[in-house]
A and B are shown apart, each in its own frame.
Chain A
Amino acid sequence: MIQMFHVYKSYGKTPALRDINVHIEKGEFVFLTGPSGAGKTTFLRLVYREILPTQGQILVSGRNLASIPNRKVPFLRREMGIVFQDFKLLPHKTVFDNVTFVLKVLGVPLKERKHRAYHILRMVGMQDRLKAYPLQLSGGEQQRVAIARALVNNPSLILADEPTGNLDPEMSLEIMRIFDEVNKKGTTVVVATHDPTLIRFLNRRVIALDKGRLVPYRG
């Protein structure tokens, strides 16, 4: 699903990632861990092509990201679901509108949007809050809406950047359970976290980074 070959990324003169070689298989669940500043976010931003590597090649679903023109990037992103620590929901749109935004952009009819939103929100336990606005929800609820948004277009890849960073431990485990469920249905999941409890909880492959380099994980 994701292949990185000798990937380097630096911001100006500051190196963020150095010589990264990684293969993540289709359908795999991988944790990306390391202390803050290790390069986890840079790793994910490279995968969703927010940035391009300074050196090296990245393939996602067999496509070389460097050769995708800017105007085609939205199509790449529609095959992915991205979840952030700060949820990034549109504050003036309802839960329903947030979740179905991408479907609307894709021209999915309202009836179908309703059906898919309900289905996906039931999966994350938010089916009763369709008309609520993000600020009326707790952090855990907002993150579940954000996950629903990431899932609604049936992506083949889910990228989550510290998705539980703002949540209490119990809610964090609940979020992990949702990701696990999604993964069991065949979606590749990459979760960046520095929380060892979560990693132990699911016991999946771990890619560890430190100061921009791959290091062996010592759980």
Chain B
Amino acid sequence: MFRALFYFIEEGFAGLVKHKSANLLAISVMAISLYVVGIFLLLNANLSLIAHRWQKEVQMNVFLKPGLKKQKIAKIEERIKRSPIIASYRFISEEEALARFKEFFPSLAPLISDLGKVPFPASFEIAIDPEYQKPEFVEDLIRTFSRLPGVDEVACDLTWIRRLQAVIGLLKLAGIFFGGVLVLAAISTTANVIKLLVYARREEIEIMRLVGASNAYIKGPFVVEGMVQGVLAGAFALLLLFLSYHFVRPYLASSFISEFLVATFLSKKAILGIIAGGGMVGMIASFFSLGGLLKI
């Protein structure tokens, strides 16, 4: 068992060195396929990140009736605190609301001063736990808070939540679909290239068969070779991805959409996935490419 494994590894690496140009071709093809998959993963990761960040900003405003007593405010706060679907909340007093208004619309500030009293109600700004940002939960919450004494109005953009939910769902679905298609494309491209390379070495395979090498002994080194090719291709694709990422990021940062972008590179899991996936693709492709040549 170990002897065979040692033989496969020894011969596999020897094959890699001996057929440099052919292997370079296979590695390049695999690397390009994996690079495309990687770009897709990167886009997906960044889009999900943006979606999640937006999700965090989904908030509910509970506006209080003017001149409400501290005790009543405390009661409302108590109720908000108890709700398990609320991630965080903040109390905005009338004065604070006014200060904010003045900050955002300085030209209108004198107008407010002329009024003599504060026209803005105190409110609670509530961030909803992303887990519970579903219309049914939110609607329920709106109903509950509206009924509390001292609450004037509860505002929450439900359609915004619905849209965000749809976008996230679509992103996930598209991710599964396109990711799957790209991985299949990568496997089939690699399998075809390896098939050609194996075909070029059919004489070698024939000789091995004629001297009595079993199929496993013929396949083993090729499979190891394919796996190493795949891992190298994965590493190479990651390097390309990383370079592209660093090249594109400053350009995006200076553009108008930079505010929405919190660029991130692939997660450790995805990085390992690309390398391991490359190895698997190479292995599988080699294994199946040899099938036709080993029939007796």
Known: A49-B296, A73-B296, A107-B3. A102 touches B207 (CB 8 A): no
Kindly provide the distance from the CB of B213 to the nearest chain A CB, expressed in whole angstroms. Answer: 5
Which residue of chain A lies nearest to B210 when distances are taken between CB atoms in the complex? Answer: A82
Find out whether the CB atom of A88 lies under 8 angstroms from the CB atom of B207: yes
**A102 CA to B210 CA in the complex, in Å?**
10
Additional A-B contacts beyond A48-B210, A77-B209 (16; CB < 8 A): A70-B296, A74-B215, A77-B210, A78-B211, A80-B212, A82-B210, A88-B206, A88-B210, A101-B208, A101-B211, A102-B213, A105-B212, A105-B213, A105-B217, A149-B211, A153-B212
Q: Indicate with 1 or 0, residue by residue over B194-217, a CB within 8 angstroms of chain A CB atoms.
A: 000000000110111111111101
Find out whether the CB atom of B215 lies under 8 angstroms from the CB atom of A71: yes
Q: Give every chain B residue within 8 A of A70 (Cβ-Cβ).
A: 295-296
Q: Give every chain A residue within 8 A of B211 (Cβ-Cβ).
A: 77-78, 82, 101-102, 105, 149
Q: Give every chain A residue within 8 A of B209 (Cβ-Cβ).
A: 74, 77
Q: Check: A131 CB closer than 8 A to any chain B CB.
A: no
Find out whether the CB atom of A90 lies under 8 angstroms from the CB atom of B204: yes
Q: Check: B7 CB closer than 8 A to any chain A CB.
A: yes
Q: Check: B18 CB closer than 8 A to any chain A CB.
A: yes
Known: A49-B296, A104-B7. A74 touches B212 (CB 8 A): yes
Within 8 A of B (CB), among A49-101: 49-50, 70-71, 73-78, 80, 82, 88-90, 92, 101
CB-defined A-B contacts under 8 Å, sample of 15: A49-B296, A50-B210, A50-B296, A70-B295, A71-B215, A74-B215, A76-B212, A77-B209, A77-B210, A82-B210, A90-B207, A92-B18, A102-B212, A105-B213, A149-B211
Judged by DSSP, the binding face of B is: helix
**A50 CA to B296 CA in the complex, in Å?**
6
**A49 CA to B209 CA in the complex, in Å?**
11
Which residue of chain B lies nearest to A92 when distances are taken between CB atoms in the complex? Answer: B18
Which residue of chain B lies nearest to A81 when distances are taken between CB atoms in the complex? Answer: B211
Q: Give every chain B residue within 8 A of A80 (Cβ-Cβ).
A: 212
Known: A49-B296, A73-B296, A101-B208. A88 touches B7 (CB 8 A): no
**A104 CA to B8 CA in the complex, in Å?**
11
Q: Count A/B pairs, Cβ under 8 Å.
A: 50
Find out whether the CB atom of B207 lies under 8 angstroms from the CB atom of A74: no
Q: Indicate with 1 or 0, residue by residue over A121-135, a CB within 8 angstroms of chain B CB atoms.
A: 000000000000000
B→A interface (CB under 8 Å): 3-4, 7, 18, 203-204, 206-215, 217, 295-296
Kindly provide the distance from the CB of B167 to the nearest chain A CB, expressed in whole angstroms. Answer: 55
Q: Give every chain B residue within 8 A of A92 (Cβ-Cβ).
A: 18
**A80 CA to B295 CA in the complex, in Å?**
19
**A141 CA to B208 CA in the complex, in Å?**
20
Which residue of chain A lies nearest to B7 when distances are taken between CB atoms in the complex? Answer: A104
Say which residue of A50, A77, A89, A90 sits within 8 Å of B212 (CB atoms).
A77
Q: Give every chain B residue within 8 A of A149 (Cβ-Cβ).
A: 211
A→B interface (CB under 8 Å): 48-50, 70-71, 73-78, 80, 82, 88-90, 92, 101-102, 104-105, 107, 149, 153
Q: Give every chain A residue within 8 A of B203 (Cβ-Cβ).
A: 88
Max chain B CB contacts within 10 Å: which of A49, A74, A78, A102?
A: A74
Which residue of chain B lies nearest to A102 when distances are taken between CB atoms in the complex? Answer: B211
Q: Give every chain A residue within 8 A of B206 (Cβ-Cβ).
A: 88
Q: Give every chain A residue within 8 A of B18 (Cβ-Cβ).
A: 92
Q: Give every chain B residue within 8 A of A71 (Cβ-Cβ).
A: 214-215
Max chain A CB contacts within 10 Å: which of B7, B18, B208, B214?
A: B214
Max chain B CB contacts within 10 Å: which of A49, A70, A77?
A: A77
The 6 closest A-B CB pairs, nearest first, are: A77-B212, A78-B212, A74-B214, A102-B211, A70-B296, A74-B212
Kindly provide the distance from the CB of B181 to the nearest chain A CB, expressed in whole angstroms. Answer: 36
**A49 CA to B295 CA in the complex, in Å?**
12
Which residue of chain A lies nearest to B208 when distances are taken between CB atoms in the complex? Answer: A101
**A153 CA to B211 CA in the complex, in Å?**
10
Q: Give every chain B residue within 8 A of A48 (Cβ-Cβ).
A: 210
**A76 CA to B210 CA in the complex, in Å?**
10
**A101 CA to B218 CA in the complex, in Å?**
12
Q: Give every chain B residue within 8 A of A89 (Cβ-Cβ).
A: 207
Q: Give every chain B residue within 8 A of A50 (Cβ-Cβ).
A: 210, 296
Max chain A CB contacts within 10 Å: which of B206, B215, B217, B296?
A: B296
Q: Give every chain B residue within 8 A of A104 (Cβ-Cβ).
A: 7
**A68 CA to B210 CA in the complex, in Å?**
16
Which residue of chain B lies nearest to A87 when distances are taken between CB atoms in the complex? Answer: B207
Kindly provide the distance from the CB of B276 to the nearest chain A CB, expressed in whole angstroms. Answer: 30
Q: Give every chain B residue within 8 A of A77 (Cβ-Cβ).
A: 209-212
